[in-house]
Chains A and B, each alone.
Chain A
Amino acid sequence: MHLLEVKNLHVEVEGKKILNGLELSVGKGAVHAIMGPNGSGKSTLAYVLAGKADYRVTQGEVLLDGDDILGIPPDERAAKGLFLAFQYPFEIPGVASMTFLRTAINAQRRQRGEPELSTPDFLRRVREVAGRLGIDQDMLRRAVNVGFSGGEKKRNEILQMAMLEPRLCVLDETDSGLDIDALKVVAEGVNHLRAAERSFVVITHYQRLLNYIVPDVVHVLSKGRIVKTGGKELALELEATGYAQYRDEAA
C-alpha cells in the first residue's frame, strides 16, 4: 500500500479553483518532488494535506495508510505522522522553542496512546538533533522563530521534523530564501531523516534543492494537476527548458 494517496483532488480557495483533479501516490521510503510554476497549486497542496482551514475540498480523497484524513483535524493528522515544513514558519512570541517542541511531541504521543517523553530523554534528543543542524541552545530558549533569520527559521522547521519523527514529510519551498550554505545544512538534515518507512514530498520551484535532496520521482504540477511524472532527470530538464511548455499543456 502507498503511504500517501491523493485521488482526484479538487480544492477551492475563496471560491477560486486551485487544485483540479490532482492524483499523487507516494510509496513508503520514497522522495517525491513536486515542481511547478507560481500559482500552479503547490502550496495549496501542502496546506490541504496538513489541514488548513479555508481550503475547501470539493471532490476527491487524501489517504494516509489507506485512511481518509480529510475529515480529521490538523493535530490528528500530525499525530498520524504527517508533517508540513512551512514555507514561511510563524513567529510565536512568548513561547520558547523548547516548550513548543516538548508540548508538540507529548501531544502527539498522547494522541497515539504512547507515554510522554521523559525530560532527560527529550533533552538528549534535542541536543543531538540541534547539534546536527547547527542550532545553538540559546536559540532553543528563545521564543519560537522570533528574531530568527530566514535560514534559522528553516533549520528550526527541520529540527521540529526530526524531533517529531513523522512518516510523511511535506516540505513546502523549504529552499526559498536560503543561501547555498543554509540550503546544504537543511538538505543534510532532511537526508539524515531518509528511511525505509519515511516518505517525503518536496515542493519546490527550483531544481537547485534537488541537487541536495535527490528525489526518486519528480512531478510537474500545472494549473492544479500533475501534468508530467518522471525520474530525477526531469528536474534537470525543467531547469533547462523552464515551465512554459507545461503551462501550455495544461491549458
Chain B
Amino acid sequence: MNAEVRPIRTAAETALAVNFAAAKASLPGANGVAALREEAFRRFEAGGLPSRRIEEWKYTDLRALMREAKPLAPLPDAAARRWAAESAALLASIDARRIVFVDGCFVPELSDLSDIEPGLSVRSMASALEAGDTRVLTRIGPISPTADTAMALNTAFMRDGAVIDVAAGVALARPIHLVFVAARKEASAVFTRSLATIGKGARAMLVESHEGSSEQQVNTAMELDVADEAHVDHVKITAAGALHVSTMMAAVGAHSRFNEFLFTAGGAVVRNQIFVRFAGAGTIAGIRGASLLNGNQHADTTLLVDHAAEGCTSRETFKSVLDGESRGVFQGKIIVRPGAQKTDAKMATHALLLSDTAESDNKPELEIFADDVQCGHGATSGALDEDLLFYLRARGIAQPEAEALLIQAFVGEAVEGIEHAGLRDVLMEQVVKWLNART
C-alpha cells in the first residue's frame, strides 16, 4: 500500500467541502482573505482529517472521532443572545473586561467596551477581516507557523474572535475575559480566531472560557504575539463542546514572562494544542494545565515548546484526573534549537486514575540541538495513595471526602501556578463542583 494515496473521503470531509463551498462567499473578508481561506482549505483537503497514522494525532484520531461535520452555526438570534447573557457564569466572580461571543459571533451589547484604557484596543475579528485590515491580515499565520490541519480548517472557516492590542509599556488593570458561549442547542459548527498582540514591557492577562451547550463542534484558535519584556498570562477554560479543537500559537520575545494554563472539565472530545516559540533570550515561562474527566470524555493536550533563543526557562506541568472510561492524552515536545544554550526546561505530567477503565497516554519528547542545557521530563500515572487515604480516614474523614481532598490537592498543585488568586479560587471551585458531581 502506498502511503501517499489519499483514502476515500469520509462523510465529514465531504460535508466540510460542501460547507466551505457554500459558505466561503459569505464568510467575512476582503483584501485577499478569500484567497487565504481558499489556500488553507486546499491544505486541509490535501491531507484530510488526521487519523491515528499521523503521529501528532495518534491518540486523537479526528477521522474516527469526527463522524460528521455539522453545518455552520447561523448568526445568533435575540433568544440565543439572551440565553448566553444568562448562562455565561463561569468567571462571574472575577473583575474582568468581558468580551462575549455567542455561537462564535461577537456580541457588543453583552461585552464590556466601556472606559477602554489608553493603549488597549479590542475589536472583532470579523470586522477586521471585513475591512481587510492589513495590520491584522499580515499577522494571521506567521506568529508561530504550523502545517497543522486543525489550523488550516480554522483559517478556512474563521468567522469571528477578538483582536486585542496592548501597546508597549501598558499594564492592564483588569484581565480580559473572552467568553465563548455555545447557545445553539442544535448540532452546529463554530470557528473562532483571535489575535492578541502585546507590546514591549506590557502586562496583560487574557482569560478564555468556552461554555454553554455541548452540541457544537468548535474549532478555536488564538495567535499571541508577545514582545520583549512583557508579562502575559493566558488561561483557557474548556467546559463544553461535542468536539472542541483549540490551538494556541504564541511567540514570546526576550526577557518576558509567559504563563499559560489550560483547564478542562467539560466537553466530550477536547483537543488543546499549544505551540509556543521563545523567540528572544531570557524568557521565563510556565505552561500548565489540569483536566478532570469522567464518563467517555476524551481530552488531549498536545504541546510544542520551541526554545529558539538562549537562556529561556520553561516549566511544563500537566495534571489529569481520570474517572469512568475517560481518556487523557498528553503529548509534549520540547525542542532546543542550535544556539539555545542555557535553556532550562522541565516537563512533568501526572495522571490520577480513579477507575480501572480510565486511560492515560503520555508522550513526552525532547529534541535537543544545543550542548549546554538542562532539560528533563517526568511522567507518572497511578491511583490514589492507599496509605494517604487510610491516614485521612483514621482521622474520621469518610472515603469519598478523603478521595475528594486528595484529588483537590493533586489538581491544586498545578492551579497554584496561576498568579491571579481569584482565578485560582474559581478553578478550585470548579474542581469541587466536578467532585460533587462524581459522587
Query: Which residues on A are within 8 Å of B, measured CB to CB?
Result: 50-53, 73-75, 77-79, 83-84, 86, 89-90, 92-95, 99-100, 103-105, 107-108, 111, 143, 160, 164
Contact = CB atoms under 8 A, between A and B. Distances in A.
B409 A164 contact: no
Nearest to A54: B386
B285 to A, nearest CB: 23
B395 interface: yes
Contacts of A86: 391, 394
B425 interface: no
Contact of B391 (A79, A90, A99, A105): A90
B165 interface: no
26 contacts: A53-B390, A74-B390, A75-B394, A75-B397, A75-B402, A77-B394, A78-B395, A84-B394, A94-B408, A94-B410, A94-B412, A95-B405, A95-B408, A99-B405, A100-B392, A100-B395, A100-B405, A103-B397, A104-B392, A104-B396, A107-B398, A108-B395, A111-B398, A143-B409, A160-B395, A164-B395
A145 B330 CA distance: 31
Interface string B361-392: 00000000000000000000000001110111
A77 to B, nearest CB: 8
B41 to A, nearest CB: 46
B117 interface: no
Interface of B: 386-388, 390-399, 401-402, 405-406, 408-410, 412-413
B409 A93 contact: yes
B427 to A, nearest CB: 14
Contacts of B392: 92, 100, 104
Nearest to A79: B396
A99 B406 CA distance: 12
Nearest to A161: B395
A225 B371 CA distance: 64
Contacts of B396: 75, 78-79, 104-105, 107-108, 111, 164
Nearest to B390: A52
Nearest to B411: A94
B73 to A, nearest CB: 40
A90 B393 contact: no
A103 B393 contact: no
A67 B435 CA distance: 34
A50 B394 contact: yes
A74 B402 CA distance: 12
Top 9 closest pairs, chain A to chain B, by CB = A94-B409, A78-B396, A108-B396, A104-B395, A74-B393, A90-B391, A75-B393, A95-B409, A107-B397
A84 B390 CA distance: 11
A66 to B, nearest CB: 21
Interface centre among A50, A51, A75 (most CB of B within 10 A): A75
Nearest to A144: B391
Nearest to B404: A103
B429 to A, nearest CB: 15
Given A74-B390, A86-B391, A94 B397 contact: no
Contacts of B405: 95, 99-100, 103
B391 A89 contact: yes
A50 B390 CA distance: 9
B416 to A, nearest CB: 8
A222 to B, nearest CB: 26
Given A75-B398, A75-B402, A95-B409, 10 more contacts: A50-B390, A53-B386, A75-B396, A79-B396, A89-B391, A90-B391, A92-B409, A94-B408, A95-B405, A100-B395
B159 to A, nearest CB: 41
A79 B393 CA distance: 10
